[in-house]
Amino acid sequence: MTPKIMFAPSKRLTAWVIKFAAGIGAVCFLVAPNAFANCETIRYEKREYIVCSYKSGEQDLRFFWKNEQGQAFGSFPALSHALAQRNEELVFAMNAGVFHSDYSPVGLYIENGRELKPAITGDGEGNFYLKPNGVFLLHGGVPQILETSRFVETKPSADFATQSGPLLLENGKLHPKFAAPSKEPTFKIRNGVGVTEQKTMHFAISNTPVSFREFMLFFKDRLKCKDALFLNGSTSSLHLPALNRTDRWLPIGPVVGVVRKTKPGGKPSR
């Protein structure tokens, strides 16, 4: 299961962004030198999130776990360095699911069309097993989130896929455990992904601790997602150079990220 390491949410937002967001209680677009980031800071119901949104097929979105030597990247800087050797730049990345202490994914994991870990359909302890859980997959750049048993039954083609849980939204339906307010909610930094009817992907990470219900309703009511999957909590990390943010204080397992080509020397290709 995910290592039980706690950390404080990032405070790298500039003072004027925080003040502006608090003042209007709405959306603050990041002033980003890299338009590929497509990210914004959103305040909703007294919570703050960073959301990076991508339309189907518009960006080079990939999953990453191990390097060419078969070792887990374990950090954003390690992955960024490896990509730079191929004249590529990591413009956005976050955790792609829960992981074991050796940084291997818990449950299904597909990378570049190869199934590296099988799906788990049994019961167990922890958030991953809060059924229904689900699978986030990409095929030809088109995103989809499926309940795990449905994925196993239908066997859809996938270039990339990760299994996690709980499945916050399934065809607009709330996860039954969080449909009603909890008397004793747990608040943590969390990250996840949602997909709209138009196949737009919203990757969200909270800047402040949130409950599962708050996170679920953020995807449903604010981001207008049809389906949404929780990816990680407590160890949730973000790589977003446009915000001058690369979380480094925790080892991480597989990540999902957007990549773009650069010219030799690190300059973006046009």
**Is residue 6 in a domain?**
no
* Amino acid identity for residue 74 in this structure: G
**Is residue 111 in a domain?**
yes
What pLDDT shows up at residue 265?
63
What pLDDT shows up at residue 268?
64
Residues 136-161: what's their mean pLDDT? 97
Looking at the 3D structure of the chain, how many domains does it have? 1
Q: How far apart are CA 107 and CA 21, in angstroms?
A: 37
Q: How far apart are CA 136 and CA 122, in angstroms?
A: 18
What pLDDT shows up at residue 193?
98
Grade residue 234 by pLDDT with cuts at 50, 70 and 90.
confident
- pTM, full prediction: 0.85
**Is residue 7 in a domain?**
no
DSSP code for 269: P
**Is residue 49 in a domain?**
yes
Alpha-carbon torsion angle 50, 27, 201, 168, nearest 10: 70
pLDDT per residue as tens digits for the range 205-233: 999 999 999 999 999 999 999 999 999 99
Residue 253 CB neighbours (<10 A):
27
Grade residue 184 by pLDDT with cuts at 50, 70 and 90.
confident
For 43, the domain range is 15-261
**Is residue 1 in a domain?**
no
List the single range of 41-55, 70-84, 177-191, 207-221 with lowest mean pLDDT.
177-191
**Is residue 140 in a domain?**
yes
What pLDDT shows up at residue 22?
38
pLDDT at 92 over 50: yes
CA 228 vs CA 28, 114, 140, 193: distances in Å: 23, 24, 20, 6
Q: Is the peptide bond before 166 cis (omega within 30 degrees of 0)?
A: yes
